[in-house]
């Protein structure tokens, strides 16, 4: 995997916490899918979540993003669900004026997806969930509506306020398509776009909600190596724009080259947490993949180790 020096910027460790999950537990009847997991994500960090199939990664994500109400523990976030801002003429003309708010104190999040999005957390899903018959631009505009303030009446009457907000929403959506590298796909129907582009479109739609933290569930699933490299570049770019990122991935090489910190879950429990180097060198992580039938992943943990050493050697030589 090619990772350039510009991309491998040092982690912004010591930043303010954006998300703090403590003792998160999720039971489905008799099945303990997530057991007492803690995770802190700081400003500007990329954190990876790995583990064999069925380890509880997606369930944990669902607890963080309000899709599930955890049966135990707490999720605190540096933001409170805020109402849509009243768009003044100046704000509506300038999409920059309605961007991310500064980090606030950590407060418990209500387990409601809409409140979580309004507080500044966005996510993508393992299976692509785009509006297939809408254009790329329209898909991103939908993501933006949680930050607009036009009520039903204003929308029906299509008055000046609605038109101003609609123009700002369109401009911001186009800006985000440019950001993720889809400038030329604005008018393409989502269902006709190549797989890798659909994944990037999902990310653009998530970014349209003005998040402080974005959670990506297997962003490279089904991608070819070139698309995977582009996904990695895009995630670095998102981090460099000031967001924190949490990523679930089975592609170990991708995760170990991308993340500042990695948490490995096994059977719902946190097995190891540390830098990519610490995690990939930990025999418990290799062991966790042995006997799971995920031999590819097991090999990848070991291969990724070799890869990382090569990158470190190159950096040492430069």
Ligand X SMILES: Nc1ncnc2c1ncn2[C@@H]1O[C@H](COP(=O)(O)OP(=O)(O)OP(=O)(O)O)[C@@H](O)[C@H]1O
Residues that bind ligand X (CB under 6 A): 28, 31, 33, 51, 53-59
Which residue(s) pair with 247 in the sheet? Answer: 48, 216
Q: How far is the CB of 267 from ligand X (least distance, A)?
A: 9
The three-class DSSP label of residue 17 is strand
- Asked whether 219 and 239 are in contact (CB, 8 A), the reply is no
Nearer to ligand X, 52 or 276 (CB): 52
Nearer to ligand X, 123 or 164 (CB): 123
Q: How far is the CB of 195 from ligand X (least distance, A)?
A: 18
Nearer to ligand X, 296 or 313 (CB): 296
Q: How far is the CB of 212 from ligand X (least distance, A)?
A: 24
Nearest-angstrom CA–CA distance, 257 and 221: 17
The closest alpha carbon to 78, from 18, 2, 157, belongs to 18
- Pseudo-torsion of CA 236, 241, 244, 247, nearest 10°? -30
Nearer to ligand X, 54 or 81 (CB): 54
Q: How far is the CB of 193 from ligand X (least distance, A)?
A: 24
Residues in CB range of 18: below 8 A, 6 or more apart: 41, 42, 43, 77, 78, 103, 212, 213, 244
Q: How far is the CB of 216 from ligand X (least distance, A)?
A: 13
Nearer to ligand X, 34 or 204 (CB): 34
DSSP 78: S
Beta strands 107-108 and 261-266, pairing class: unpaired
Packing angle between helix 160-179 and helix 136-144, nearest 10 degrees? Answer: 120
Q: How far is the CB of 182 from ligand X (least distance, A)?
A: 27
Nearer to ligand X, 68 or 162 (CB): 68
């Amino acid at each position: 995997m090619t990772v350039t020096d510009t991309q491998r910027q040092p982690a912004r460790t010591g930043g303010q916490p954006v998300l703090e999950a403590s003792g998160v537990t999720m039971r489905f009847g008799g099945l303990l899918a997530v057991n007492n997991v803690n995770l802190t994500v700081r400003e500007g960090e990329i954190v990876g979540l790995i583990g064999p199939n069925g380890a509880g990664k997606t369930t944990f994500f669902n607890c963080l993003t309000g899709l599930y109400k955890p049966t135990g523990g707490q999720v605190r976030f540096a933001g409170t669900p805020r109402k849509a801002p009243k768009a003044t003429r100046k704000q509506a003309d300038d999409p920059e004026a309605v961007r991310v708010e500064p980090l606030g104190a950590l407060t418990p999040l209500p387990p409601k997806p809409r409140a979580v999005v309004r507080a500044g957390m966005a996510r993508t899903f393992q299976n692509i969930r785009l509006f297939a018959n809408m254009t790329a631009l329209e898909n991103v505009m939908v993501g933006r509506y949680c930050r607009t303030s036009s009520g039903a009446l204003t929308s029906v009457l299509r008055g000046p306020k609605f038109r101003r907000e609609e123009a700002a929403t369109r401009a911001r959506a186009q800006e985000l398509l440019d950001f993720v590298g889809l400038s030329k796909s604005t008018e393409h129907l989502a269902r006709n776009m190549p797989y890798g582009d659909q994944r990037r479109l999902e990310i653009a739609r998530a970014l349209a909600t003005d998040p402080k933290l974005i959670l990506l569930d297997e962003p490279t699933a089904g991608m070819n190596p070139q698309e995977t490299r582009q996904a990695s570049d895009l995630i670095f770019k998102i981090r460099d724009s000031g967001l924190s990122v949490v990523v679930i991935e089975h592609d170990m090489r991708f995760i170990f080259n991308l993340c500042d910190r990695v948490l490995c879950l096994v059977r719902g429990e946190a097995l190891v947490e540390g830098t990519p180097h610490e995690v990939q060198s930990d025999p418990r992580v290799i062991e966790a993949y042995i006997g799971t039938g995920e031999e590819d992943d097991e090999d990848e943990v070991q291969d990724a180790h070799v890869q990382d050493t090569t990158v470190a050697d190159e950096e040492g030589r430069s």
